[in-house]
Protein backbone atom coordinates (compact mmCIF):
# COMPACT_ATOMS: atom_id res chain seq x y z
CA UNK A 1 0.00 0.00 0.00
CA UNK A 2 2.86 2.39 0.74
CA UNK A 3 4.49 1.64 -2.61
CA UNK A 4 1.26 2.49 -4.42
CA UNK A 5 0.64 5.49 -2.15
CA UNK A 6 -2.76 4.18 -1.04
CA UNK A 7 -4.08 6.07 1.98
CA UNK A 8 -6.26 4.49 4.63
CA UNK A 9 -9.38 6.45 5.55
CA UNK A 10 -9.99 7.52 9.15
CA UNK A 11 -13.76 7.27 8.66
CA UNK A 12 -13.90 4.21 10.89
CA UNK A 13 -11.46 4.90 13.71
CA UNK A 14 -10.54 2.15 16.14
CA UNK A 15 -11.56 3.23 19.63
CA UNK A 16 -11.59 -0.12 21.44
CA UNK A 17 -9.24 -3.08 21.49
CA UNK A 18 -10.54 -6.37 22.92
CA UNK A 19 -7.91 -8.40 24.78
CA UNK A 20 -8.76 -12.05 25.32
CA UNK A 21 -6.99 -14.78 27.24
CA UNK A 22 -8.15 -18.38 26.95
CA UNK A 23 -10.57 -20.45 24.93
CA UNK A 24 -13.81 -19.25 26.56
CA UNK A 25 -12.63 -15.65 26.47
CA UNK A 26 -11.96 -15.95 22.75
CA UNK A 27 -15.57 -17.01 22.16
CA UNK A 28 -16.84 -14.02 24.15
CA UNK A 29 -14.42 -11.78 22.26
CA UNK A 30 -15.94 -12.66 18.87
CA UNK A 31 -19.45 -11.80 20.06
CA UNK A 32 -18.29 -8.56 21.69
CA UNK A 33 -16.46 -7.46 18.52
CA UNK A 34 -19.61 -8.12 16.51
CA UNK A 35 -21.78 -6.17 18.98
CA UNK A 36 -19.36 -3.22 19.15
CA UNK A 37 -19.07 -2.95 15.39
CA UNK A 38 -22.86 -3.15 15.00
CA UNK A 39 -23.12 -0.25 17.46
CA UNK A 40 -20.80 1.80 15.24
CA UNK A 41 -17.82 1.53 17.55
CA UNK A 42 -14.49 0.84 15.86
CA UNK A 43 -13.15 -2.30 17.54
CA UNK A 44 -10.26 -4.64 16.86
CA UNK A 45 -8.62 -7.62 18.52
CA UNK A 46 -5.69 -9.93 18.07
CA UNK A 47 -7.20 -13.38 17.96
CA UNK A 48 -4.19 -15.50 18.72
CA UNK A 49 -2.31 -16.91 21.68
CA UNK A 50 -0.53 -13.66 22.53
CA UNK A 51 -0.05 -12.64 26.13
CA UNK A 52 -2.03 -9.82 27.67
CA UNK A 53 1.08 -7.66 27.53
CA UNK A 54 1.56 -8.34 23.81
CA UNK A 55 -2.09 -7.57 23.08
CA UNK A 56 -1.98 -4.34 25.09
CA UNK A 57 1.11 -3.29 23.10
CA UNK A 58 -0.96 -3.67 19.93
CA UNK A 59 -3.70 -1.57 21.54
CA UNK A 60 -1.13 1.12 22.31
CA UNK A 61 0.16 1.08 18.73
CA UNK A 62 -3.39 1.54 17.48
CA UNK A 63 -3.79 4.44 19.93
CA UNK A 64 -7.15 3.20 21.14
CA UNK A 65 -8.88 4.96 24.00
CA UNK A 66 -10.15 1.80 25.68
CA UNK A 67 -9.23 -1.84 26.06
CA UNK A 68 -11.77 -4.45 27.08
CA UNK A 69 -10.09 -7.38 28.79
CA UNK A 70 -11.71 -10.80 28.94
CA UNK A 71 -9.84 -13.53 30.77
CA UNK A 72 -11.08 -16.96 31.77
CA UNK A 73 -12.48 -15.61 35.06
CA UNK A 74 -14.38 -12.86 33.25
CA UNK A 75 -15.64 -15.27 30.60
CA UNK A 76 -17.19 -17.53 33.22
CA UNK A 77 -18.57 -14.69 35.38
CA UNK A 78 -19.99 -12.76 32.37
CA UNK A 79 -17.96 -9.67 33.20
CA UNK A 80 -15.24 -7.67 31.44
CA UNK A 81 -12.52 -5.30 32.57
CA UNK A 82 -12.69 -1.89 30.91
CA UNK A 83 -9.30 -0.17 30.85
CA UNK A 84 -8.94 3.50 30.02
CA UNK A 85 -5.73 3.47 28.00
CA UNK A 86 -4.94 7.11 28.79
CA UNK A 87 -5.35 7.04 32.57
CA UNK A 88 -4.72 3.34 33.17
CA UNK A 89 -7.87 3.11 35.33
CA UNK A 90 -9.73 -0.19 35.18
CA UNK A 91 -13.35 -0.99 36.02
CA UNK A 92 -15.38 -4.20 35.96
CA UNK A 93 -18.64 -4.25 33.97
CA UNK A 94 -21.21 -6.92 33.21
CA UNK A 95 -20.73 -8.16 29.66
CA UNK A 96 -24.28 -7.22 28.72
CA UNK A 97 -23.66 -3.55 29.71
CA UNK A 98 -20.26 -2.89 28.16
CA UNK A 99 -21.45 -1.96 24.65
CA UNK A 100 -23.81 0.68 26.05
CA UNK A 101 -21.07 2.06 28.31
CA UNK A 102 -18.64 2.28 25.40
CA UNK A 103 -21.26 3.97 23.21
CA UNK A 104 -21.46 6.73 25.83
CA UNK A 105 -17.70 7.05 26.28
CA UNK A 106 -16.76 6.91 22.61
CA UNK A 107 -19.55 9.36 21.78
CA UNK A 108 -17.98 11.86 24.20
CA UNK A 109 -14.60 11.43 22.52
CA UNK A 110 -15.95 12.23 19.08
CA UNK A 111 -17.71 15.47 20.12
At 47 the pLDDT is 83
- Confidence (pTM): 0.85
For 29-63, how does the pLDDT look when each residue is reduced to its tens digit (9 = 90+)?
Answer: 999 999 999 999 999 999 877 899 999 999 999 99
Q: Which residues does residue 16 pair with via DSSP β-bridges, in sequence order?
A: 43, 66
CA–CA dist 36, 103 (Å, integer) = 8
CATH number at residue 87: 3.40.50.800
Domain containing residue 30: 16-103
For the segment 2-24, the average pLDDT, to the nearest whole number, is 77
Determine phi and psi for 67, rounding to 5 degrees. Answer: -120, 135
Q: Report how many domains make up the chain.
A: 1
| Pairing, β 16-20 against β 90-94 | unpaired
Does 7 map to a domain?
Answer: no
For 54-111, how does the pLDDT look when each residue is reduced to its tens digit (9 = 90+)?
Answer: 999 999 999 999 999 999 999 999 999 999 999 999 999 999 999 999 999 988 766 5
Does 5 map to a domain?
Answer: no
CA–CA dist 68, 75 (Å, integer) = 12
Does 9 map to a domain?
Answer: no
At 50 the pLDDT is 85
Amino acid sequence: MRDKKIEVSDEYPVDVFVVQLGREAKKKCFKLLFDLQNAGIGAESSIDKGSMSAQLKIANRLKVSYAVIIGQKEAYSDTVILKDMNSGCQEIYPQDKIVRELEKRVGRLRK
